[in-house]
Structure 1
Amino acid sequence: MSAALPAFADRLIDRFRKRRTWRDRFPRLNEALEASSRFGHAANGFVYVSVGILMLASAIGMRGEAVDPHGVLYVLAQQPFGRLWLILIGAGLWAFVGWRVLQAVFDIDHEGSDLKGWAVRAAQATSGLAYAVLASGVFELLDEVRTNMGAEQLAENQEKAAILLGLPFGGAALMVIGLIIAGVGIGNIVMGFVNDFAATLVCSKAVCRWVLPLARVGYVARGLAYLPLALFVTLAGYRASSDRVETFGTALEALERQPGGAIMLGMTAVGLIAFGAYAFVEARFRRIRVPKDLEAG
């Protein structure tokens, strides 16, 4: 018995020494980054599904106006637990910005450093900046939710355009911005047709077979949704008139007023719902490769 007690004490002391440190109580960095990226994809999906549903309601006459991702945040802020919704979405969108940083800076998708690879990574960085602006707007809403957000956003866009038009070659610069927006839209359309979405997913062939159409339809629809705004901005630069600058939502409203516009808006809405649904698929099945230098330690 006396010999057993020291052995037991030694085992107890050894076990105490091997207890996890405070650092080990937290997930490993690669695990945390993967979880954050998946959360970001889910938040992105929620925003686009919400935009698509509200846009579809506008197309069939159930609500007065179409909304863009900024507008849907205002609608959500008016719902029960609106502040909680905004906090969760804002955190998710910032997580998605972090995912874009991993793609653009650390090349976790292995796009490479040739011309094509840098072009893809530049597009990912641009997307990250756009989502950063959207995420910042979420937390601005926490301070004050305004009833005329759409009008204020339109006025702000027109004010910025007026400042730009007042500069030398301001009209040409605004036309370039419009063409860039058009390029983003066309790029999404091309991706919808040619991109190998299955290569980025870790799922069975049966699952991939039914989720890939969501990606193709969603990317094409999102690309088409950019084109009306690109047209307004380009025309504003060509005619040197800031009054022609619109927001994403008001550009879609203008599309709705055209012959057959409600049908086109409805089809776009369904496509954006598909895009959001595919983002949920990515949240579950996306291949997340964390850079080895971030895993170290």
Structure 2
Amino acid sequence: MPAFAALRRHRRLPKPSTLVEWAARVGYGARGFVYLSAGLLTLLAATDRIGDAVGTGGAAGWLAEQPFGRLWLVLLGVGLWAFVGWRALQAVFDADHEGADLKGWATRAGQALSGVFYGVLAAGVFEYLDEVGEAASAAADQAESVAENQEKAAMLLGLPFGGALLATAGLAILAVGIGNIVRAFRDDFDGALACPESFCRPATILARTGYAARGFAYLPLGVFVILAGLHARAGEVTSTAGALDALEAQPGGSWILGLTAAGLMAFGAFAFVEARWRRIRAPRELD
């Protein structure tokens, strides 16, 4: 009898593929929150409502300052780790059935790099848990982020051919940005959505706008890192938020920054669409 009862309890549990789908949808929602918040805060910076633009990490810092900040950070961090797990399934087990040809492997490599990025972001979210309630400004958070990036750049410059390695890292950042812009014009976004056509078309516009803006946001940072490598000066490295601030200082920069912010918000909104409508296919091994 106890074994039979245990079997019944086991049979009531969702299938592994169902759990994967739930985790993926939670992950897309967490990604949407990060980019929607980052875009909104960047828009406020462009209109001089707040001091500086923020990147994706700055959105977590802003969340830490809100009421119940610790609870929101835990929920966001768990959601981002769920998305990291989904990226791992996509990259390692080919959950999206991209195939084993060159294009498929390139897509899966991009998904793996995306998983690393969101893993770093998720770890940073949990680091903010120790700072909830402390009087730390957005400017201080950005300065700390820049200092960390410059420290990593200095370590890289200390290696043989460090300048070339740092410049190569900058080229990789540029490649990520250009890749997002290319995706904005070439990808079939509505093909991955299980939604009515009348809804998918506006969602596709959100996706194209969002990916283009996300790619554009990487470009200034890539240029700064390349210049730092060519000049062998770690002090020229900045963060994504710092690069956007430098962009704002140029003629017409506020308008460009505002458009970029709107695009990041579009990217976040599309992530919420994916959380609801994306076709989630668990790896065959789970079945």
Q: Once the two structures are superposed, what CA deviation does each residue of 1:90-130 show, in whole Å capped at 9, x if it has no partner?
A: 00000110111111111121211111111111011001000
Partner residue, 1:285: 277
Partner residue, 2:9: 22
Q: Compute the displacement of 1:64 (Å).
A: 0.4
Q: Once the two structures are superposed, what CA deviation does each residue of 1:191-232 show, in whole Å capped at 9, x if it has no partner?
A: 000000111111111111111100000000000000000000
2:84 partner amino acid: V
1:256 partner amino acid: E
Provide TM-score, normalisation by structure 1: 0.92
Aligned residues: 281
Q: What is the CA–CA distance in structure 1 between the aligned matches of 2:91 and 2:32, rounded to whole Å? A: 20
CA contact (8 A) 2:32 2:268 kept: yes
| 1:88 partnered with 2:75 | yes
Q: What is the CA–CA distance in structure 2 between the aligned matches of 1:277 and 1:251, rounded to whole Å? A: 23
Partner residue, 1:61: 48
Partner residue, 2:59: 72
Q: Compute the displacement of 1:140 (Å).
A: 1.1
Pick which of 172-181 and 150-159 moved more: 150-159
| 1:32 partnered with 2:32 | no
Q: What is the CA–CA distance in structure 2 between the aligned matches of 1:25 and 1:74, rounded to whole Å? A: 40
Q: Compute the displacement of 1:276 (Å).
A: 0.3
Residues 1-297 of structure 1 mapped to structure 2, 5 A cutoff = 21-145=8-132, 147=136, 148-295=140-287
Q: What is the CA–CA distance in structure 2 between the aligned matches of 1:89 and 1:109, rounded to whole Å? A: 24
Q: Compute the displacement of 1:19 (Å).
A: 8.0
Q: Compute the displacement of 1:74 (Å).
A: 0.7
SS of equivalent to 1:175: helix
Q: Once the two structures are superposed, what CA deviation does each residue of 1:158-193 show, in whole Å capped at 9, x if it has no partner?
A: 111111111110000000000000000000000000
Q: What is the CA–CA distance in structure 2 between the aligned matches of 1:292 and 1:69, rounded to whole Å? A: 33
Q: What is the CA–CA distance in structure 2 between the aligned matches of 1:292 and 1:227, rounded to whole Å? A: 38
CA contact (8 A) 2:190 2:203 kept: no
Q: What is the CA–CA distance in structure 2 between the aligned matches of 1:151 and 1:237, rounded to whole Å? A: 20
| Structure 1 unaligned blocks of 5 or more | 1-12
- Go from structure 1 to structure 2 and tell me whether the alpha carbon gap of 1:292 and 1:254 turns closer, same or farther (over 3 Å shift): same
Q: What is the CA–CA distance in structure 1 between the aligned matches of 2:131 and 2:202, rounded to whole Å? A: 42
SS of equivalent to 1:22: helix
Q: What is the CA–CA distance in structure 1 between the aligned matches of 2:171 and 2:29, rounded to whole Å? A: 30
Q: Compute the displacement of 1:156 (Å).
A: 1.2
CA contact (8 A) 2:247 2:253 kept: yes
- Go from structure 1 to structure 2 and tell me whether the alpha carbon gap of 1:18 and 1:151 turns closer, same or farther (over 3 Å shift): closer
Q: What is the CA–CA distance in structure 1 between the aligned matches of 2:107 and 2:214, rounded to whole Å? A: 18
1:107 partner amino acid: D
Q: What is the CA–CA distance in structure 1 between the aligned matches of 2:33 and 2:270, rounded to whole Å? A: 10
1:79 partner amino acid: Q
Q: What is the CA–CA distance in structure 2 between the aligned matches of 1:67 and 1:17, rounded to whole Å? A: 55
Pick which of 153-162 and 32-41 moved more: 153-162
1:271 partner amino acid: G
Provide TM-score, normalisation by structure 2: 0.95
Partner residue, 1:4: none
SS of equivalent to 1:21: helix
Aligned-residue Cα RMSD (Å) equals 1.5
